[in-house]
């Protein structure tokens, strides 16, 4: 899968096996993927940054790809995943590294900087802004109050329910829809009807995603299913409970944030308000910039790979 010098290996980190895809020599950039993805979403970045003199490392986060997937749903908290990443850095002999995160990888990137700023030189996050902890309200309750029980994050809380629906619909159809057709708006998955109306509509793949590339995702998810990735959502409230000591803490790491104006996160009000530069800078005082890319959806690192690579490179060159 996507050769051209990309090396693969398994490291032992935080008591589990973590798969790494990596390329290049030089300062390390740790690329953190989201859902429904795995290391492969950083294929363009691995090649580009290796050619620019970096060592680009993209792990499969726990529960994804060829990394271990613990059976206990409560083994997917932010502390478990950040612990995995510290273990990875130790295993590859890394001190402080650059970090790039997307979607859930961005959320984990914020947590990594919050918990272990001593291991991060600078951060570029895509799609998911820093969300300061609301001391009074659990996140799932907040989403439910704003958007109701059929909002996708609320549906993802139900044990095995959405996983079963996705398998019944077909992994290939779910992934094809996820990459190409998620609306630029709050996203809903009605119980028993999730995606069933949309999947019968023919989808033409965009120029940034070939049939072979889509097949790589499908092949991987046919092996793993969606359970591991969905467990991250099931721990949103537990993360909230566990991070109480970090209430009002700031991210003290140089950072840049990038989002597409067609991203569902940018078009979900309770998420978008945190993407305002002045709002985010209150919580991320070393924030350099918020970049909103026009005509770009959720998967910015593949939709506009060259532009994203340039933005990341320009920022990291300062350190």
Q: What is the pLDDT of residues 45-57, one digit of tens each?
A: 999 999 999 999 9
Per DSSP, what are the bridge partners of residue 289?
A: 256
Contact between 253 and 117 under an 8 Å Cβ cutoff? The reply is yes
Q: What is the pLDDT of residues 55-110, one digit of tens each?
A: 999 999 999 999 999 999 999 999 999 999 999 999 999 999 999 999 999 999 99
Q: Hunting for tokens 């078009």 — which residue is that?
A: 267
Contact between 231 and 74 under an 8 Å Cβ cutoff? The reply is no
Per DSSP, what are the bridge partners of residue 99?
A: 30, 123
pTM for this one? 0.97
Active-site annotation holds for 64: no
The alpha carbon dihedral of 78, 80, 86, 89 has a sign of: negative
Check residue 278 and give its pLDDT.
97
Among residues 60, 103, 111, 283, which one is catalytic?
Answer: 103
Q: What is the pLDDT of residues 246-301, one digit of tens each?
A: 999 999 999 999 999 999 999 999 999 999 999 999 999 999 999 999 999 999 99
Bond prior to 292 in cis (omega within 30° of 0): no
Among residues 76, 147, 233, 266, which one is catalytic?
Answer: 233
The alpha carbon dihedral of 288, 294, 298, 302 has a sign of: negative
Active-site annotation holds for 54: no
Per DSSP, what are the bridge partners of residue 16?
A: 13
Contact between 264 and 183 under an 8 Å Cβ cutoff? The reply is yes
Rounded Cα distance between 42 and 45, Å, is 5
Check residue 197 and give its pLDDT.
66
Active-site annotation holds for 44: no
């Amino acid at each position: 899968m996507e050769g051209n010098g990309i090396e693969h290996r398994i490291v032992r980190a935080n008591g589990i096996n973590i798969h790494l895809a990596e390329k290049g020599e030089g300062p390390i950039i740790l690329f953190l993927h989201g859902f429904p993805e795995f290391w492969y979403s950083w294929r363009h970045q691995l090649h580009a940054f290796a050619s620019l003199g970096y060592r680009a490392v993209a792990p499969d986060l726990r529960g994804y790809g060829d990394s271990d997937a613990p059976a206990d749903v409560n083994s997917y908290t932010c502390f478990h995943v950040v612990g995995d990443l510290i273990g990875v850095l130790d295993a590859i002999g890394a001190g402080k590294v650059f970090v790039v995160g997307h979607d859930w990888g961005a959320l984990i990137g914020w947590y990594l900087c919050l918990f272990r700023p001593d291991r991060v030189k600078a951060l570029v996050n895509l799609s998911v802004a820093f969300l300061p902890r609301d001391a009074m309200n659990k996140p799932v309750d907040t989403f439910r109050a704003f958007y109701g029980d059929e909002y996708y994050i609320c549906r993802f809380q139900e044990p095995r329910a959405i996983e079963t629906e996705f398998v019944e619909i077909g992994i290939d159809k779910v992934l094809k829809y996820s990459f190409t057709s998620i609306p630029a708006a709050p996203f809903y998955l009605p119980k028993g009807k999730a995606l069933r109306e949309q999947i019968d509509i023919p989808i033409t793949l965009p120029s940034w995603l070939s049939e072979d590339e889509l097949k790589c995702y499908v092949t991987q998810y046919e092996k793993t299913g969606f359970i591991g990735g969905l467990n991250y959502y099931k721990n949103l409230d537990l993360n909230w409970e566990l991070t109480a000591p970090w209430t009002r803490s700031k991210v003290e790491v140089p950072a840049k944030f990038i989002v597409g104006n067609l991203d569902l996160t940018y078009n979900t009000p309770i998420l978008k308000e945190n993407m305002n530069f002045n709002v985010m800078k209150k919580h991320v005082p070393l924030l350099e910039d918020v970049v909103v890319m026009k005509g770009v959806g959720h998967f910015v690192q593949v939709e506009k790979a060259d532009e994203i690579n340039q933005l990341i490179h320009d920022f990291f060159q300062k350190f």
